[in-house]
Structure 1
Amino acid sequence: MLQAWYIDTQNGECLEQKKMAPKYISAEELYNKTGVEYFKLNVETYKTDGILDSIKKERGYSYEDEMVCSEKCLSIDEFEEKKRSFATEHLHSDEEIRFLLEGAGYFDVRDSVDHWIRIKICAGDLIILPGGIYHRFEFDSNKHIKMKRLFSEEPAWQAYNRPADAMPCRQRYMERIARGFAAAN
Structure 2
Amino acid sequence: MQSWQMEPYQYGDRRMPHHCFPPKQLTIDQLHKLSGVIHYKVDLSDLAATKKRLSNIRQSKNKVASDVLTIDENVRDFEKLCESLYEPIEKKEDEVFFILDGSMYYDIEFAEEEWIRIYLERGDLIVIPKGKPFRCTVTSKNYAKIQRFANQGSR
Runs of 4+ in 1 over 3 A off after TM superposition: none
**Sequence identity of aligned pairs in percent?**
24
Displacement of 1:102 in angstroms is: 0.6
Counterpart for residue 99 of structure 2: 100
Counterpart for residue 57 of structure 1: 59
Counterpart for residue 45 of structure 2: 44
Counterpart for residue 12 of structure 1: 10
How large is the Cα RMSD of the aligned pairs?
A: 1.7
SS in 2 for 1:61: coil
| Correspondence 1:110-129 to 2 at 5 A | 110-129=109-128
**d(CA) in 2 for partners of 1:127, 1:146:** 14
Which structure has greater strand proportion? 2
**d(CA) in 2 for partners of 1:51, 1:15:** 31
Relative to the length of structure 1, the TM-score reads 0.73
Counterpart for residue 28 of structure 2: 27
Cα 1:107/1:131, change in 2 over 3 Å: same
Which structure has greater helix proportion? 1
SS in 1 for 2:111: coil
Displacement of 1:101 in angstroms is: 0.2
Relative to the length of structure 2, the TM-score reads 0.86
Counterpart for residue 15 of structure 2: none
Q: Is the 2:61–2:94 contact (alpha carbons within 8 Å) kept by the matching residues of 1?
A: no
Q: How many residues align?
A: 147
The correspondence for 1:66, drawn from 40, 60, 68, is 68
Greater relative CO, 1 or 2 (CA 8 Å, sep 6+)? 2
SS in 2 for 1:111: strand
